[in-house]
Amino acid sequence: MWRMEDVLCEYGRPYDPARPQVCIDERPCQLLSDSRPSLPTLPGQVARFDYEYERHGMCTLFMIFQPHTAWRTTKVTAHRKGPDFAELMRELVDVHFPQAETIRVVLDNLNIHSPASLYAAFEPAEALRILQKLEVHYTPKHGSWLNMVEIELSILVRQCLGQRIPDMQTLQHEVNAWQDYRNTQRATIHWQFSVENARIKLARLYPSLSPR
């Protein structure tokens, strides 16, 4: 319960540019290409593609989402491993929010989302430098739905990834176009679920205190 309420309290805090709040997550992406060229179309017809396709492996799409400022950025990597996450955290600190005093980060409990990933990727002094700029709030086990970036990733899948994308470069290009449009439109998520809501709607999950 504590982790859920911690994340919900975090969402309820006002915007503070010195202590920006971001949500981070990633998803696997399958790389596919058409086995044959698509058929030419006539005016008024939808594009037609052969049902067969060629597989080109998997990659990972990381997303950093800042709800308060309606901003998101993405990064495509070949793997979903500790060094990929560690490098993303370094970019978060040094590239995206270099002036921040502290960056408040909402993460789920994936094994790579830990300080150990940074110590495995960097020298101890560098890992500590990055970690000292981060204030991490973990979602509960089986409660990753509390991470707002999951909603953004689902929107990305619906609006951008419903096509065959053959390689990482094309994927990054397509996702960049999507994120730039969303950022320009200042699209964001207006989170409504509060601690008070949780204590009512999820009351069955809370321990009951026996009267003395």
Domains of the chain (ranges, CATH numbers): 2-36+47-200 (3.30.420.10)
Other beta carbons less than 10 A from residue 150's beta carbon: 19
Of 168 and 202, which is predicted with more confidence? 168
Q: Does the pLDDT value for residue 13 go beyond 70?
A: yes
Of all residues in the chain, the percent with pLDDT exceeding 90 is 78
pLDDT of amino acid 211: 58
Q: Does the pLDDT value for residue 212 go beyond 60?
A: no
- Rounded to two decimals, the pTM is 0.88
Rounded-to-integer distance, Cα 89 and Cα 121, Å? 11
Report which secondary-structure segment, H or E, holds 25: strand 21-34
Tell me the three-class secondary structure of 46-115, residue by residue: CCECCCCEEEEEEEEEEEEEEHHHCEEEEEEECCCCHHHHHHHHHHHHHHHCCCCCCEEEEECCCCCCCH
Confidence of residue 1 (pLDDT cuts 50, 70, 90): confident
